[in-house]
Amino acid sequence: MKVIYPGSFDPVTFGHLDVIERASGLFDQVLVAIGVNSQKNNLFSPAERIEMLEELLYDYDNVEVKTFSCLLTEFMQSEGIHTEIRGLRAVPDYEYEKQMAVLNKQLYPEMETLFMISRPDYAYISASYAREIASYGGDVSGLVPANVEMRLREKYAGH
């Protein structure tokens, strides 16, 4: 079975990588899909986000990375994928995730959303905190891989 793991990945964190690694062991193919929303003020461009993910996922033969800039349900249908994976860290994620899963299913009744509970040591990692800590020059080595840490440092150099 081929599954999709969508997200903003701005930037990819250890939490995302853990979900991708586990999904890659469970399913035949995993499509990591970067949602591109021109209204959103992302730190990294779509090309930068693809590059960081591809550097990290080089060794995973059954994982590919793409961007999409339409509804997730439309993109899934165009890719012939019915199953979405999302990570769940803690209770605050739940309402947001449930709402998206229910709305997505209304749009695309054949789809299913599967949740993967984050490893406890990654449950407090988020891309937004990684960006915030890095913007103050703080240490993000426990939150993101080294290639991402380097790019965060470059982004905020001189701030």
Candidate list 31, 35, 49, 57; residue touching ligand PNS; CB under 6 A: 35
Q: Which of residues 88, 100, 114, 133 is near ligand PNS by CB under 6 A? A: 100
Query: Is residue 147 within 8 Å of 128, Cβ to Cβ?
Result: no
User: Segment near ligand PNS (CB under 6 A), from 6-14, 21-29, 108-116, 129-137?
Assistant: 6-14
| Size of site (CB under 6 A) for ligand PNS | 9
Question: According to CB under 6 A, which residues from 130 to 159 bind ligand PNS?
Answer: none
Start-to-end CA span in the chain (Å): 45
Burial 56-72 (b: 16+ CB within 10 A, else e): bbeebeebebeebeeeb
Q: Would you say 102 or 150 has its CB closer to ligand PNS?
A: 102
What residues are paired with 105 via a beta bridge? none
126 neighbors 88 (Cβ within 8 angstroms): no
7 binds ligand PNS (CB under 6 A): yes
List residues binding ligand PNS (CB under 6 A). 6-8, 35, 71-72, 100, 103-104
